[in-house]
Structure 1
Amino acid sequence: MINNPIQSLAEAAANWHQLPLSDDISQATRRAILDWFATTLPGCVQPPAMLLAAACHSSRGNGKAVCYVDGSLGSARHAALINGTASHTVEFDDIFKDGGYHPGSPTIAAALAVAQDQEVSLEQLHRAVIAGYEVGCRISLAIQPSHYTYWHITSTVGTIGAAVAAAMLLKGDATIIANAIALATSFAGGHQQNLQGEGMAKAMHPGHAADAGILAAMAAAEGMTGSMDSLHAPKGYAAATSDSTGNWDAAFEGLGEWTPITRMTVKNHGCCGHIFPALDGLRILQSEHGFAVEDIHSIHIKGYGPTYNMCNRPAPKSAQEARFSIQYCIAAQFFLGGVRLSAFSESALAREDIRAFMPRVSVSEDAELAAAYPRKRMARINVTLNNGQTLNHFQQTRKGDPENPLTDAEMIAKYDELAGSVIAPETLVNLRHQILHSNNLPQEIALK
């Protein structure tokens, strides 16, 4: 049993100041940063990041951090707020599946902004990102799955992960990092209604988390303190946002043996990750049996809890709703060949053939699959053809999960597709090379 989670997490993070970086860890960190840019840059030319950049124009402040929406330089907090928002807009950001958490959007947004502003080395940036993932992902294990009932974990835990990464870059020791965590627990927010309902708040969640995390780190670095019991006490963060004071044995399992950044899911579809097993399984089923979309009478998906209660949206009206609609995403995969950026364009959302097919798709919760969540994300798929034939498939993994990872070539293809939609080919190649092979911090990028 861990006596004090905050102190133990802070010590684990501070150790990354000097722990050796194996080739596997370094490569995983470079992949995470490449994937962050892949999902962030397309979000820079869409609301809410563009609207937020305009709204916060007068509060940009002085600094050397890059706001990728407009290429301006300003304070680390300003850049992290806008970039973190952009990174969550097109729903391609990484996942720590065991905790149901997207660490990259808030953690890398905060770390990169502080690193640029402080002009630190690339190695220091990498160490900060690794530490931020270490703490955030392990906290997610302590409070999930009950935390997700009312809270958006990427917003809440993301604030803490961002605080750790920023504190590392401000040369914080374990005491400073512990106080940054404690302060961040009071800044962490973001509820499910703004995740599942209408409006633009969801994408702002990791942006706010990145900003608030930097604030906590800056305050701690100047000597401000927080309660060292704020994570696990009866009136602390875990108790307030989950059904217990935290499963800290689960959180610390394997500490020192593996680090979370090496166990990330890289998104292969531009929608909610709870839809992925159905999309992957249907692609396998179609390749095995060769049926066409016009041959399908109906499709039924059995999934775990969020597959049904978050993604059963038979009539989405907006791109945001469509990204959480299993009916829309399955239809889009059949008619468009994939669920990528173009699937959520106005023209795609208005397609009559996609809309006409959606009522053929239904979804329910399977008790066995629900019991295995969040460690396993699975789906049972039943396809009934017009000739009466029934096809079944059990999808036990998602393409992109640690058990079935994207190759480096597939990750680069994803980056080229997403980032290439908003930056010039030469810039695309140069940035990719810089992230994967150089020892320099990424800086300004000109959007098309």
Structure 2
Amino acid sequence: MYELEILAGFIHDLKLENLDKKVIDAAKLCVLDTFGAAAGATRDPLIQKIVSTYQSLYPGGGDAAVWGFEKKMPFLQAAFLNGMMGHRLELDDVHTSSKTHIGTVVVPAAFALSQHLDLTGAQFLEAVICGYEVMSRIGMGFGVSSHRNRGWHVTSTAGTFGAAAAAAKLLGLDAEKTVHALGMAGTQSFGVWAFLEDSASSKILHPGRAAVSGIEAALLAKSGMTGPTKILSAFDGGLFKAMSDEYSYTAVTEGLGKDFEILKVDIKPYPCCRSTHCAIDAALYLSGHYPIASDEIKKIEVETYLVGYKQCGLTEGSLKPKTPVDAKFSIPYTVAAALLKGTVNIESFLPEAIQDPAVQSLLSKVEVRPEETFTSRYPKHWGCRAIITMNSGDTYETEIKDALGSVDQPLTPEDLNKKVEPLIKVAYDDPKMIIQSFLEIEALKLSDMA
């Protein structure tokens, strides 16, 4: 058997009653975290304009919820919009071993299709788990560093597979048709990091489009269309060879069904690129443990892994941030904000916060460079070292192996509630009730939610 056949068999055979409770509980928390991140973005001006534009195209509404908005829309459009909303604040989850933001692809796809099909929360959770396992494994198979360093955005390149897996499960496809759905998901694999070059806001298009492409792949397979069953390994046009120099077919299936990747998902505490988080933690640690007066800082050095340096410490936007996109992908900015404000939150990325003269002055003293120690540990560990040198000559240094919210430094369920409650409150009057409904989702009908 080859990779897609093994994945398809896993998807077809997975049943909630056969899973360990910790896997089911992890799925619920991932769903809640994704929903919270999306709900928190509902008042974002760009999101509001996009939703308004799409609502005008469908005056008759639809059968699936656009989270945080009263009017429902056709399920494909709802999946598309919810996927973009979930990525807008940069608060969505990260599976670090594959570098994928799984929740904002798989959860919107599964939620919208479940509502369209009038399915139960239990069926929805099965699909979510299938999506997480498939998307993470395709992402690991790509070879994280090589895939990223060639410019590919794995949330979308692997995302189509995750959404197709979830949709195939919900549609009840047999194993053969599921293989074809995954093949067609692969032939729609897409997404590059070019948006960083000029701070374009189109990054959120990637999860939204991946969610829709995956659903459509499953619908086409159900209708009888066949997909390339060897999409990963074909001699002419095989995806892994086309997108990476360090791919692994073994990573796609090794431990499948026994070693659940959904248990290894990071929950982000700060609304910015995950590669900035270790530097934020380092800045907060140093300012909390040493007498560091910001106006007495001579320079700040941050050593990190190559991918983190390329994303958040190399481009003009990261070195001289002017926009929210710049700042969210800037180690200099997030370190300066953490040192000056004692926290990094949604308000940190408002235009007036970014243009604060004190922040701009301090970030100019931050130097980011790649360091082989951290590069060699990546993607298992997303770490860094921060060194602050004062005008007096005193230096303060710390190393962060794993950022807050990681598998090794996890947020508790209580921490997650504290994160998502104010986000959900942006769009809903009773966030506590909504949180409880997600924690009990297997007993509900998806059509009754959101």
2:239 aligned with 1:237, yes or no?
yes
How far, CA to CA, are the matches of 2:232 and 2:108 in structure 1?
24
Which residue of structure 2 lines up, in the alignment, with residue 189 of structure 1? 190
Q: Secondary structure at the match of 2:65?
A: strand
2:437 aligned with 1:434, yes or no?
yes
How far, CA to CA, are the matches of 1:383 and 1:442 in structure 2?
51
Q: Secondary structure at the match of 2:97?
A: helix
Contact 1:303 1:378 in 2 (8 A): yes
Q: Secondary structure at the match of 1:87?
A: helix
Which residue of structure 1 lines up, in the alignment, with residue 426 of structure 2? 421
Q: Secondary structure at the match of 1:212?
A: helix
How far, CA to CA, are the matches of 1:274 and 1:220 in structure 2?
37
RMSD value over aligned CA atoms? 1.9
Which residue of structure 1 lines up, in the alignment, with residue 251 of structure 2? 250
State the Cα deviation string for residues 363-386 of structure 1 (Å, max 9, x = none).
Answer: 000022112211211101111123
Which residue of structure 1 lines up, in the alignment, with residue 303 of structure 2? 302
User: Aligned partner of 2:433: which letter?
Assistant: N
How far, CA to CA, are the matches of 1:32 and 1:342 in structure 2?
24
TM-score when scaled to structure 2? Answer: 0.93
State which drifts further: 107-116 or 48-57.
48-57
Which residue of structure 1 lines up, in the alignment, with residue 204 of structure 2? 203
Q: From 9, 12, 18, give the equivalent of 1:11.
A: 9
Contact 2:43 2:426 in 1 (8 A): no
Matches within 5 A, 1:26-425: 26-60=24-58, 63-68=62-67, 70-145=69-144, 146-148=146-148, 149-234=150-235, 235-243=237-245, 246-312=247-313, 313-424=318-429
* Residues 303/428 of structure 1: CA separation in 2 closer, same or farther (3 Å cut): same
Q: 1:442 Cα deviation (Å)?
A: 5.5
Contact 1:122 1:441 in 2 (8 A): yes
Q: 1:415 Cα deviation (Å)?
A: 0.4
Q: 1:360 Cα deviation (Å)?
A: 1.3
How far, CA to CA, are the matches of 2:449 and 2:115 in structure 1?
13
User: Aligned partner of 2:323: which letter?
Assistant: S
Contact 1:53 1:69 in 2 (8 A): no
User: Aligned partner of 1:134: which letter?
Assistant: E
How far, CA to CA, are the matches of 1:367 and 1:259 in structure 2?
30
Q: Secondary structure at the match of 2:364?
A: helix
Contact 1:152 1:195 in 2 (8 A): no
* Residues 272/352 of structure 1: CA separation in 2 closer, same or farther (3 Å cut): same
Q: 1:390 Cα deviation (Å)?
A: 1.0
* Residues 423/334 of structure 1: CA separation in 2 closer, same or farther (3 Å cut): farther
How far, CA to CA, are the matches of 1:73 and 1:444 in structure 2?
12
| Structure 1 residues without counterparts, runs of 5 or longer | none
Contact 2:65 2:73 in 1 (8 A): yes
Contact 1:44 1:83 in 2 (8 A): no
User: Aligned partner of 2:27: which letter?
Assistant: T
How far, CA to CA, are the matches of 2:196 and 2:183 in structure 1?
25
Q: 1:301 Cα deviation (Å)?
A: 0.2
Contact 1:81 1:208 in 2 (8 A): yes
| Structure 2 residues without counterparts, runs of 5 or longer | none
Q: 1:196 Cα deviation (Å)?
A: 5.0
Q: Secondary structure at the match of 1:254?
A: coil
User: Aligned partner of 1:347: which letter?
Assistant: E
TM-score when scaled to structure 1? Answer: 0.94
Contact 2:120 2:446 in 1 (8 A): no
Contact 1:341 1:418 in 2 (8 A): no
Q: Secondary structure at the match of 2:259?
A: coil
Contact 1:69 1:83 in 2 (8 A): no
State which drifts further: 365-374 or 248-257.
248-257
How far, CA to CA, are the matches of 1:441 and 1:290 in structure 2?
55
State which drifts further: 151-160 or 105-114.
151-160
Q: 1:346 Cα deviation (Å)?
A: 2.2
State the Cα deviation string for residues 247-268 of structure 1 (Å, max 9, x = none).
Answer: 0223333223221111100001
Q: 1:195 Cα deviation (Å)?
A: 4.9
How far, CA to CA, are the matches of 2:390 and 2:97 in structure 1?
35
State which drifts further: 427-436 or 56-65.
56-65
Q: Secondary structure at the match of 2:172?
A: coil
Q: Secondary structure at the match of 2:404?
A: coil
Q: Secondary structure at the match of 1:54?
A: helix
How far, CA to CA, are the matches of 1:342 and 1:94 in structure 2?
20
How far, CA to CA, are the matches of 1:51 and 1:221 in structure 2?
34
Q: 1:40 Cα deviation (Å)?
A: 0.5
Q: Secondary structure at the match of 1:88?
A: helix
How far, CA to CA, are the matches of 1:220 and 1:195 in structure 2?
35
Contact 1:14 1:131 in 2 (8 A): no
Identical-pair percentage: 29
How far, CA to CA, are the matches of 2:349 and 2:448 in structure 1?
28
How far, CA to CA, are the matches of 1:217 and 1:115 in structure 2?
13
State the Cα deviation string for residues 186-233 of structure 1 (Å, max 9, x = none).
Answer: 112111103553222111110111111111111112221111111122
State the Cα deviation string for residues 357-411 of structure 1 (Å, max 9, x = none).
Answer: 1111110000221122112111011111232111121211111111111001111
Q: Secondary structure at the match of 1:66?
A: coil
Contact 2:284 2:342 in 1 (8 A): no
State which drifts further: 381-390 or 56-65.
56-65
User: Aligned partner of 2:22: which letter?
Assistant: D
* Residues 335/289 of structure 1: CA separation in 2 closer, same or farther (3 Å cut): closer
* Residues 134/364 of structure 1: CA separation in 2 closer, same or farther (3 Å cut): same
User: Aligned partner of 1:141: which letter?
Assistant: M
